[in-house]
Amino acid sequence: MRVVITGGGGFLGSHLCDALLRRGDHVVALDDFSTGEPANVAHVRDHPRFQLIRADVTNEFDVRGAVDAVAHLASPASPPDYHRLCLETLAVGSRGTENALRLAVAHRARFVLASTSEVYGDPAIHPQREDYWGNVNPIGPRSVYDEAKRFAEALTVAYRRKMHAEAGIVRIFNTYGPRMRPNDGRVVSTFIRQALDGEPLTIYGDGSQTRSFCYVDDLIRGIVAMLDSDLLGPFNLGNPREQTVRELAELVREATGSDSGLEFMPLPVDDPTRRRPVVARAQEKLGWSPLIPIDEGLRRTVAWFAPGSEESRGSAERARAMPVGY
Ligand code: NAD
Ligand code: UDP
């Protein structure tokens, strides 16, 4: 297959590039590097089956040659990023999604939208199944992201109905792993960086809010299974093991061997109180289940963040200085 990945230079997108290249596919990564980094794909820039195009997908674009599938991952994803890039987030969820869908329709290609557990907002139903419609504040600080993704889902369904797009949707729950930006503000990257730097771990609120954290390799297997299917979904992709933010802080302290203290800070407005996916539908229809337990996933992530290790952010930072072949 020749697969176009919008947001291919981001955290998840770059791992998807790797997984597809490993199995023999051709990959075209499109990215404007607004929140991603060229370093994420520097190791494949000379790969004969890899191409990087620097482009903002909110502008109309075409990709020359065959396109068999489009994975639409482009969007700011961390709360500080989408607060800062509020208009860009709305644009990429709406215009960007439509441009990616148009590309897929023009090439009769499979289309997969990277949606999010945020479509459930602060969920009134727990755990979350795909038939729950959610509880989103349409004018709150998270709305630029949540509503952009909800619109993107509606657009995907409409393109499937009206334009016969072979389109599907995955709803991704909190995912972590190597290549997260140490300063992206998300909880796993922030806690690991703080623990390694000997700083207190910043807990928002009392830390009793929950999330369910999925290791990146598991998540990517789910996206690949979705690319290979012709199903609409939506499918929850996430790890059903749920923990409080406070418990996560303990796990990170164990994984890093750090004795950092805890610092309690105000809870952001509309921060969801709990989140856990039901993944039975993905298990049944895609044959997908998460496999990597959180202690193992954190160990691998810490190894990447720790200075001096082979696969470290140190090497990523060195790679960042390298020119990018596009
Ligand atoms: P990321 O910020 O690392 O990656 C997003 C990529 O999209 C970046 O490389 C960024 O530069 C690129 N991008 C943004 N706007 C663009 C535009 N207009 N044109 C071209 N490129 C653009 O974030 P991520 O965690 O890798 O998230 C990838 C996708 O998965 C996003 O759509 C996100 O909403 C979704 N998602 C991620 C998670 C998670 O836990 N990581 C959870 C739910 C959903
Ligand atoms: N969080 C925290 N400290 C941090 C960053 C985040 O306690 O330094 C909390 C945040 O308030 C939320 C949870 O961790 O309850 C997950 O936050 P993240 O930004 O990673 O993802 P999201 O809120 O989008 O699920």
Helical (H) or strand (E) element with 214: strand 214-215
Given pLDDT bands bounded at 50, 70 and 90, which one contains residue 308?
Answer: confident
Q: Which domains does the chain have, with CATH numbers?
A: 2-320 (3.40.50.720)
How confident is the model over 262-286, as a mean pLDDT?
98
Tens of pLDDT along 168-225?
A: 999 999 999 999 999 999 999 999 999 999 999 999 999 999 999 999 999 999 999 9
Q: How confident is the model at residue 299 (pLDDT cuts 50, 70, 90)?
A: very high
Q: What digits encode the pLDDT tens for the residues 82-136? A: 999 999 999 999 999 999 999 999 999 999 999 999 999 999 999 999 999 999 9
Which residue from 116, 93, 110 is spatially nearest to 186, judged by alpha carbons?
Answer: 116
pLDDT of residue 307: 82
Nearest ligand 2 atom to alpha carbon 80: 19
Q: With a 6 A CB cut-off, is 174 part of the ligand 2 pocket?
A: yes
Token pair for 26: 């051709």
276 lines ligand 2 (CB under 6 A): no
pLDDT in tens, 25-83: 999 999 999 999 999 999 999 999 999 999 999 999 999 999 999 999 999 999 999 99
All residues at 6 or more sequence positions from 237 whose CB lies less than 8 Å from its CB, including other chains = 170, 171, 172, 173, 214, 219, 222, 223, 277, 279, 282, 288
Identify the residue whose C-alpha is closest to ligand 1 atom 33: 77
In the set 82, 120, 145, 159, the catalytic residue is: 145
Distance from C-alpha of 316 to C-alpha of 324, rounded to nearest angstrom: 13
132 tagged catalytic: no
pLDDT for 203: 98
CB of 174 sitting under 6 A from ligand 1: yes
For position 315, what pLDDT does the model report? 46
**Mean pLDDT, rounded, of the chain:** 95
- For the CA atoms of 181, 186, 188, 189, the dihedral, rounded to the nearest 10 degrees, stands at 20
Half-sphere exposure of residue 25, counting CA atoms within 13 Å on the CB side? Answer: 23
Distance 12 CA to ligand 1 centre (A): 7
Cα 30 from chain centroid? 15
Q: Is the CB of 74 under 6 A from ligand 1?
A: yes
Q: How far is the CA of 186 from the centre of ligand 2 (A)?
A: 6
Residue 142: how many other CB atoms lie within 10 Å:
20
User: Which pLDDT belongs to residue 309?
Assistant: 61
